[in-house]
Amino acid sequence: MKAFIPCLRLRHRFTMFTGFVIGVLFVSVTFITLSSNKLVIQITSNSKKEDLSKFHDLRQKCKVPTLDPYHPEVKPFMRTYMAATCDYPKLTEVTDDGILQVRDKNAVTHAKYCYMQRVNDNSQKFTPWVVFYDKNDPKQNKEVKLTEDFVKVSITAGGSTQDEFHMYPVRKDTRGKEQLPPKADQLNIVFIMIDSVSHSTAERYLKKTLKKMKESPSTVIMNGHTIVGDGTTAQICAIFVGELENKLPEARKGYGKGDFVNRWPFIWKDFQKSGYITQYSEDSPYDNTFNYRLRGFNEPPTDKYMRNFWAGAGSYIGQLNKKSIKCSHQINFRYLKRFMNNYHDKPTFSFLGSSDLTHNSSPYAQLIDDDLVDLLEHLEKTGQNENTLLVIFGDHGDRSSGYRATMTGKLEERLPFMSFTLPTWFPKKYPDHFKNFQRNANLLTSHFDVYSTLRHLMTFPENKHKHKYGSSLFTDLSHLNRTCNQIGILDHWCSCLDYQELKIDDPLVRKAAENIISTINGMNGKIDKVKDQCATLKLDKIERAGIISPGSRVQKFDKTFKDGRCDECGVKEKNANYKVKNYEVVFTVSPSGGKYEATAVLDISKGTFTTGEGISRINLYKNQPHCIQKDFPYLRPYCYCNRQLDS
């Protein structure tokens, strides 16, 4: 049996394990195994027992597999990186007290500053220049107490002139919040997202951070956490809006009726009403969550909104990153520390997104490891850990490297890293809530549960919130015995599905692939400005195919669903009578060489396929869609411009 499960290993054992195995000897069951290149799902007969050694919680209908972070499929894609310390600031600096000053007065002969101000999400304006240092004029040698957050400095040194940019959280009265008294046990909320970091990626590359977290008695690392859709936006919507994107008001670029995302009911708005000072900062202004293919914000969504700094200082940050790619997240972390310090007497809500480093290469996560440890130690040193909930997480796993094309990589994409660090006093004051949190760490959870947890915190310890998908992680979820469909995870993204491998020359497999490609071409073809610029894609090669279906235990308990949410899947109790079959196919197309993974649904009675959402491009498209990417960014993964740019 061990030969069949080289990449799955048990992290959690149960004291009643032996008795449990005996109890399931006569139940029809399913188990997942991974060989060096493929996932194999085996369904045993009623007379055989289930291999229960590789799932996080063996008593649940949906069992999330435990992945080996060093599986043979991973090793060819592992990398070791080193980077120089970020040389920032260099000639000028802003102190912790918000004082702009020249660092090296021997080198600098002249310096002036101006403030950078927001016009909208995509443009900035600058105030008039003010000289604050002149080596030849002692009257101009002064320090500047900043009155705005974003400052540009022009420095003359050694006969040349260069610019530097700084951001500093200047404390200001924010809409009367200063008068709101703090509530008992009101925690600061800090979310730090590291793009494309899965649970296994964190184990490979965030070793120091995980070591410190595992030594903390008030940290919980989620082991069964699953994404809810494709890409970053779906995950952030689930966490901060509590809804699927397609259920929210239209905000995509290229859609005439689309509007800005300010209309969406972000949870930080409710925290603002409760007296929180809010912050939002993603270090990549060009492909971030709400501006890459969405219209962005027409008004700043939070009290401190950093997008205009990252956009205005983009070329400067780019030059810094050429010398040390650690600069972006270090600048972000420095601002967070000062933000929390300057508002130490007020509750704060922060979301920091670190995408610049890891978006296209998750192994770069190792370069943020020391800085995360430094942040944890800073919170401890200042005592801010005692009134802060710190959430360090990945939106999803690696989506576009060669590793993503492996079966292990596919599962990693669906199992992001998610951790919660609470104050050290919390487990003692609220032992039942904390034990629930620890118990839930080994169950199927999603970003919708994080949203519900935030809702719970607003009325904690009482829980007044009910959500159609999510449940607070402070409550016991084990008795709910949840499935992906019940908590808003579409089958294509469910990590608990069984997989029956098919031969790639199966006629139905080819028919499924062609239906998916037809759907892609149809997406491009229905827009006049796009159809003449994008090539018609054709099937090149089928690389892998299989039928995905709910696990045997999900099928067995289907009759207990109270809301009928799974009726359309046609699974009937123990006999597993299907009306449809989900064909998952991995294939490449010409002329782009694009590699896709998608699910086509076969209507068994009609013999026809349909393809819905969830067509994933799993290799980089780079500049292939240059002709449409500005006006129709949501079609970038699918368009290969007839006229390609010279490489």
What CATH code would you report for 497-644?
A: 3.10.450.10
CA distance 281 to 517: 37
Residues 119-165 pLDDT 10s = 999 999 999 999 999 998 888 888 999 999 999 999 999 889 999 99
- State the CB neighbour count (10 A cutoff) for residue 95: 13
Global confidence as pTM = 0.77
The confidence score (pLDDT) of residue 82 equals: 79
How do beta strands 418-421 and 445-446 pair? Answer: unpaired
115: helix, strand or coil: strand
Cα 422 to the center of its chain, rounded Å: 20
Residues 254-297 pLDDT 10s = 887 788 999 999 999 999 999 999 999 999 888 889 988 899 99
Which one is predicted more confidently, 253 or 309? 309
| Domain 188-493: CATH superfamily, name plus number | Alkaline Phosphatase, subunit A (3.40.720.10)
Which one is predicted more confidently, 9 or 144? 144
The confidence score (pLDDT) of residue 16 equals: 39
DSSP assignment string, 91-105 = SEEE-TTSEEEES-T
DSSP assignment string, 512-559 = HHHHHHHHHHHHHHTSHHHHTTBPPPEEEEEEEEEEEE--HHHHHTGG
pLDDT at residue 3 is higher than 70? no
Looking at this protein, which amino acid is placed at residue 525?
G
Provide φ and ψ at 478, rounded to 5°. Answer: -60, -35
What secondary structure letter does DSSP report for 600? E
> Mean pLDDT, the chain, as a whole number?
83
Looking at this protein, which amino acid is placed at residue 157?
A
Which one is predicted more confidently, 328 or 470? 470
pLDDT-wise least confident of 479-483, 501-505, 558-562, 593-597 = 558-562
Residues 393-413 pLDDT 10s = 999 988 767 777 777 788 899
Residues 311-363 pLDDT 10s = 998 888 877 777 767 788 999 999 999 999 999 999 999 999 998 888 778 88
pLDDT at residue 430 is higher than 60? yes
Which strand ranges, in their side-by-side order, compose the sheet holding 348-354? Answer: 219-221, 418-421, 388-393, 188-194, 348-354, 277-282, 304-305
Residue with tokens 């090296």: 104
CA distance 372 to 192: 10
Q: Which residues face 189 on adjacent strands? A: 349, 389
Provide φ and ψ at 311, rounded to 5°. Answer: -75, -45
Residues 159-182 pLDDT 10s = 899 999 999 999 986 655 555 556
Q: Which sequence spans correspond to the domains of the chain? A: 92-167, 188-493, 497-644
Domains 188-493 and 497-644 share a fold: no
Which one is predicted more confidently, 609 or 571? 609
pLDDT interval class at 49 (50, 70, 90): very low
CA distance 466 to 416: 25
User: Could you tell me which residues come within 8 angstroms of residue 566 by beta carbon, excluding any fewer than 6 positions away?
Assistant: 483, 485, 486, 550, 558
CA distance 415 to 197: 9
Instruction: Give percent of the chain with pLDDT exceeding 90.
Output: 58
- State the CB neighbour count (10 A cutoff) for residue 13: 9
Which one is predicted more confidently, 564 or 529? 529
